[in-house]
Amino acid sequence: MKLYQQLTEQIATLIREGTLRSGDRAPSIRQLSRNRGASPATVVHAYELLQARGYLEARPRSGFFVSSAWRSSQDEPTVSQPVRRVAHPDVSNLVFEVLEAMRAREVVPLGSAFPSPDLFPLRQLARALAAAVRRMDPWSTVEDLPPGNTMLRRQIAQRYLIAGARVLPDEIVVTAGALEGLNLALQAVTAPRDIVAIESPSFYGCLQAVESSGRRAVEIPTHPRYGVDVDELERVLDRENVRACWFMTMFQNPLGATMTTDSRSRLVRLLASRNIPLIEDSVYTDLYFGKERVKPAKAFDRKGLVLDCGSFSKTLAPGYRLGWVAAGRFAPEVLRRKIMTSLATSIPIQAAIAHYLDTGGYERHLRGLRWSLQTQQAAYLSALERHFPSGTRWIRPDGGYLLWVELPASVDAIKVHRLALEHGISIAPGPIFSARREYRNFMRLNYGHPWTPKVEAAIRTIGRLIRECSR
């Protein structure tokens, strides 16, 4: 790593960890260049990078300061305190109302769950697809039935190895996106009426899967920065007959929270001691902003109890619908469920992604994508600073493209959602992320779309609507 890169990462870490706080002046360029044996130009280069990533901001004639978007902890959203009682979720209708609102091309998709399709190498993928189908062996229509294309599963297994987890191709079942994988995993490890521990707030797809399959949910308090509260989980496990956990321990949707490596490892140990499977939704794993990728729960799994559900939809190939489950000891059952549910995952699509991964370029694309998301995050957060009223709070996530915003207590986010739609803007109101429609005054924003004046105007409008609704 070059010196300017080292400096960039070190200062970013100081800011992320809170050593340098919002509004603090950055170390002077002269001082730093002297201490580190770097030329002033090198330091300036590092600072400009940090500025582009939203860590620093330049003030005319004053130098560099930690960006005001880096909030101190008293400005963070409240930690969830869900009712820790078992419930049948009942949220689908509201979710569909909100999802439907995002379909129109002209709507500013702040409520969307997808990043902009323009961020992906669609042209290279099209080439890979064309090349893969041209050379497709007709027999592959039989051979690539579940568990799926062998080359693809080997490449996925190699990616786990890089992330620090040992996963054999044999335990990987290819699925039509992560959502199918998560549903299959849930069916494989639980029966109707079983209790599943979920985060609060949690991804609405999780709530819907629990609801539509007749499982019951118990919601665990989840910190907007540090994720699932393992102590609380342990108390719930003592009390309820929990048969599985469905968590997203990295860049959680909607919070953006990431458990520390220690607490994730503790979580896996706790569940192992009670033989409880962990369904991990890891679709954002590759979208980390830090120096290193986050170690997934699977890396600590000694008993094959972790079912890691991944996907290329958020990182490479939106709309292709290609995901997988690294299902540990449950692989045979997930495989059977896959065959019964949809027989197979599209075979040309499997071949295309395998071909793309094989011919390289994925890591380079991922670096670019992370850079874009981080840069967009900075722009969005700085607009939030400008346009949202005081009393709104958020945390800057370390990856992904989703942001959890707490509004003043009097604001009804569903009302904001409906008003915003009249202005051609979508947001994701808090209640769609709760089995009991809690989080009335929260919303999730998507910064996965390039920063444009139209987006800025949309954020200004949302800010105005929040103010109006809080009166």
Residues of the shown chain interacting with a copy of itself in the complex, contacts defined by CB under 8 A:
92, 96, 99, 102-103, 105, 112, 114, 116-118, 120, 122, 125-126, 129-130, 133-134, 136, 138-145, 176-177, 179-180, 183, 187, 192, 205, 208-209, 212, 214, 318-322, 336-337, 339-349
Q: Decide the pairing of beta strands 63-66 and 306-311.
A: unpaired
Name the phi and psi angles at 326, rounded to 5.
-90, 100
Shortest Å, Cβ 341 to a copy of itself: 6
CA 222 to chain centre: 15
Closer of 179 and 297 to a copy of itself (Cβ): 179
Shortest Å, Cβ 195 to a copy of itself: 17
Shortest Å, Cβ 172 to a copy of itself: 17
Shortest Å, Cβ 184 to a copy of itself: 10
Closer of 41 and 142 to a copy of itself (Cβ): 142
Closer of 118 and 292 to a copy of itself (Cβ): 118
Closer of 3 and 122 to a copy of itself (Cβ): 122
CA atoms of 178 and 320, how far apart (whole Å)? 11
Q: What is the largest CA-CA distance in the chain?
A: 69
Closer of 125 and 407 to a copy of itself (Cβ): 125
Closer of 18 and 214 to a copy of itself (Cβ): 214
CA 470 to chain centre: 29
Residue 88 structure tokens? 């049948």
Helix-then-strand count for the chain, H and E: 16, 16
Shortest Å, Cβ 19 to a copy of itself: 40
CA atoms of 215 and 194, how far apart (whole Å)? 5
**Unique residue bearing structure tokens 């330091």:** 43
Closer of 261 and 342 to a copy of itself (Cβ): 342
CA atoms of 288 and 286, how far apart (whole Å)? 6
3-state secondary structure of 197: strand
Shortest Å, Cβ 187 to a copy of itself: 7
CA atoms of 332 and 314, how far apart (whole Å)? 27
Among residues 460, 443, 444, 442, the alpha carbon closest in space to that of 382 is found at 460
Among residues 366, 315, 320, 382, the alpha carbon closest in space to that of 115 is found at 315
Closer of 337 and 396 to a copy of itself (Cβ): 337
CA atoms of 321 and 459, how far apart (whole Å)? 31
Residues 6+ apart with CB under 8 A from 25: 62, 63, 64, 65, 66
Shortest Å, Cβ 49 to a copy of itself: 28
Shortest Å, Cβ 406 to a copy of itself: 28
